[in-house]
Amino acid sequence: MLDRAAREELNMSGEEFLRRWDAGDFEDSDDAAITRVAMLIPFARP
């Protein structure tokens, strides 16, 4: 589910999104799409 959302909304894989999220790449972002995708992280990483 996260992978689908990341590809549709951010044009990246779910794996890449998680890697960049963990690295703090999005900490200063105000992109609503990033926070919407982040909402699905528990589906990929219980």
Partner 1 sequence: MARAKITLSSGGWGETDGVHALTLNDDKPVKLKGRRPVLLLSIRMQYAIVPTNDPERGPWRVSTRAYAYELQTASGELVVSYHWHPQGGRILYPHAHLGHTQLAEDAVLHQKAHNPTGRVSLESIVRACITEYGVTPMLEDWDKTLTLHENDFLLYRSWS
Binding residues for partner 1, rule: CB under 8 A, are 1, 4-5, 21, 26-32, 34-36, 38-43, 46
Q: Which two tokens stand for residue 15?
A: 């794996």
DSSP state of 11: S
Work out how close the CB of 19 gets to partner 1 at its nearest, in angstroms, rounded to a whole number. 14
Work out how close the CB of 39 gets to partner 1 at its nearest, in angstroms, rounded to a whole number. 4
Distance CA 18, CA 23 (A): 8
Work out how close the CB of 28 gets to partner 1 at its nearest, in angstroms, rounded to a whole number. 5
- What are the distances in angstroms from CA 38 to CA 9, 32? 11, 10
Please identify, using beta-carbon distances, which residue of 12 and 26 lies nearer to partner 1.
26
